[in-house]
Amino acid sequence: MAGYVFAALAGLLFGLQGAYGKVLARRIPPMLLAWGMFAFTTPVLAVLLLFDGIPTVDWYNFVWATGLSVLANLLAWSLFFRALQVSDLAHTMPFTALTPVFLIPVAYVLLDELPNAVGLAGILFIIAGAYGIHMSSGHLLDPFRMLFKNRGTRWMLMTALVWSVSATVDKVAVLASSQMFYGFTLNLCLSLVYLPYLIRYQSKATLAVRDNWRGLFLLGLMTGLQMLAQFTALKVLLVSYVIAFKRTGVIVSVVFGAAVLGERNVRWNLVCTALMIAGVFLLVQ
């Protein structure tokens, strides 16, 4: 049961992360925002690692899984913040709920994991809810039309696809070490690989960090806690289940978009939200 609690917490924090990331994306370039998130998350996880201690590490599996996750997340988070910069939360965040669909074949190949029939039904409910949120006019083809009309939608769909790979290798790395050790290592590596970008745009980066360090710190804190919740859940649950729970966090982002940013179709989005919650209940049966 504890695994589901941590998976649900990861979903809540993911929704807050997307909503707050949308606010920050209005004044910080996507690449710099991605670096700032990793850089400000690293010290949070470093402090937690001091209390948790260095685990015994299966270095072979840890190194290849971490390396692949770094490459995947480098691409995914850049696309994620770029999508938030150009499109509404309701036209971007729901598409991250497609990750569990992409995860099923990936997790089967890498981890020999498959959800049971009820779990698969729960995942499909969550995806159907996210799909419905994107049907702004009630037309079945709206989500597909958005792929051609909306850059943010296309970029977020690509993000969901890349995350299906990173989420699977995340579990390999966590099982080869610990959630805190892996979280710290992953964020440290990701913050370092952005250094060429920072060097090239040093003056812009310095100004953006100076003016927005409080916001970046809060985003880093959210991200650190979200990663710990997700990686803890991965130790005991199927990858597809954890990510399905995590994607229910789009509910938070969509409600935030309507309440704070003035985005529309709140009533229809709440109906779709109920469908996603029903999917979560199916998952825990």
Q: Which one has a higher pLDDT value, 249 or 173?
A: 173
Residue type for position 82: R
Look at 12-26, 180-194, 257-271 and tell me which has the smallest mean pLDDT.
257-271
CA dihedral 149, 155, 157, 159 (to 10 degrees): 180
How many whole angstroms from its chain centre is CA 80?
9
Give the residue extent of every domain in the chain.
2-283
| Terminal C-alpha separation, the chain | 11
Considering only residues 158 and 2, tell me which one the structure prediction assigns the higher pLDDT. 158
More confident residue, 57 or 201: 57
Q: CA 164 to CA 95: how far, in whole Å?
A: 13
pTM: 0.82
The tens digit of pLDDT for each residue in 198-224 reads 778 777 778 877 888 898 899 989 998
Predicted confidence (pLDDT) at residue 137 exceeds the cutoff of 60: no
pLDDT at residue 273, rounded to an integer: 73
pLDDT at residue 61 greater than cutoff 90 = yes
